Amino acid sequence: MQLGIIGLGRMGGNIARRLTKAGHECVVWDRNEAAVKELGAEGNLPASDLADLIGKLDAPRAVWVMLPAGGPTETTIATLAGMMSPGDIIIDGGNTFYKDDIRRAAELEPTGIHYVDVGTSGGVWGLERGYCMMVGGTKGAVDHIDPILAALAPGIGEIPRTPGREGRDTRVEQGYMHCGPAGSGHFVKMVHNGIEYGLMQAYAEGFEILKKKNSEALPENERFTLDMADVAEVWRRGSVVSSWLLDLSAIALTKDESLSDFPGEVADSGEGRWTVMAAIEEAVSAEVLSAALYTRFRSRQDHTFGEKLLSAMRFQFGGHTEFKNK
């Protein structure tokens, strides 16, 4: 299947690579000419601009936009809408606010252009592991791009099947889900990222408690000098708190237990704020998610070991080089 891809950064470029390896044809464009040239050399079809990208796709066209949320995505989708035809599909795979998806889909509906939002999780590991995707849009549009989604998804792999799922949508076991109408995919991904904040914060606080057990403020006979890398490693093996985030923490701690490359100033990319906003709108108590978000705000004033671990986890799963010391 053909797919146009706009935005060839950490995730967009690897999405093109994974699709090409699966036998799909990708037409690629980015403002960064070097990125376009690199992907072209790897078997993708380079485009010189948006018009050239549209011209190289057969109808009905499908174009995946993988750009930062806000202005860059908004402008690109508006430009594409003026170039595309009824039956074509615009896919937003970035971290867009779900209410913007709802608005865009309504604006595009009279033109006959379909709008699909794909909340995409997998970070820099997606090329190898695949991407977990949460998809919003009409059934027809989502079904049309199913070969693309299936190729990007991780597949069932070695994860045991959940008992009692007979008769349910088998795509979910492959790692992607049609959540509902436009906006629902990014809404599910937004809450996913809010939960991610809370999980990361729990690990960060726990490891800081472990590390400070040798504090001089404690009685000498109550001090322990604990190996953080080994604690992370043993918890990976059969513990109820094992997870991919713990795996990534173990990688970072084994490399440098002091996490000296991570000052601990932790960014937030928007989804945590939006999740808390949704909780307020729905009158849902979300103490953990809210506290995790506020801790990221505070981390920009002074930094703890736990916040260094948050930075390390973000680097491991997403390649975020926030504030690396040199």
Active-site residue set: 189, 196
Residues 6 or more apart from 158 whose CB is under 8 A from it? none
Half-sphere exposure of 98 (CA within 13 A, CB side): 26
Q: Tokens representing 162? A: 């959940």
Are 130 and 122 in contact, with CB atoms under 8 Å apart? yes
Helix, coil or strand: residue 116:
strand
Rounded Cα distance, 236 and 45, in Å: 42
User: If you search the block for the tokens 């979300």, which residue do you land on?
Assistant: 286
- Taking phi first (over 0 means left), then psi (-120 to 50 degrees means alpha), and beta for anything else, what does residue 259 get? left
| Token pair in block for residue 88 | 């074509």
DSSP 248-315: HHHHHHHH-TT-TT--------SHHHHHHHHHHHHT---HHHHHHHHHHHHTTTS--HHHHHHHHHHH
Quote the CA–CA distance of 198 and 202 in Å, as a whole number: 6
Task: Return d(Cα 290, Cα 266) in angstroms, integer.
Answer: 15
CA 297, CA 233: separation in Å to the nearest integer?
Answer: 29
Strand arrangement, sheet containing 2-6: 45-46, 25-29, 2-6, 62-65, 89-92, 114-121, 132-136, 176-180
Rounded Cα distance, 55 and 61, in Å: 10
Task: Please check whether residue 78 is in contact with residue 85, taking contact to mean a CB–CB distance below 8 angstroms.
Answer: no
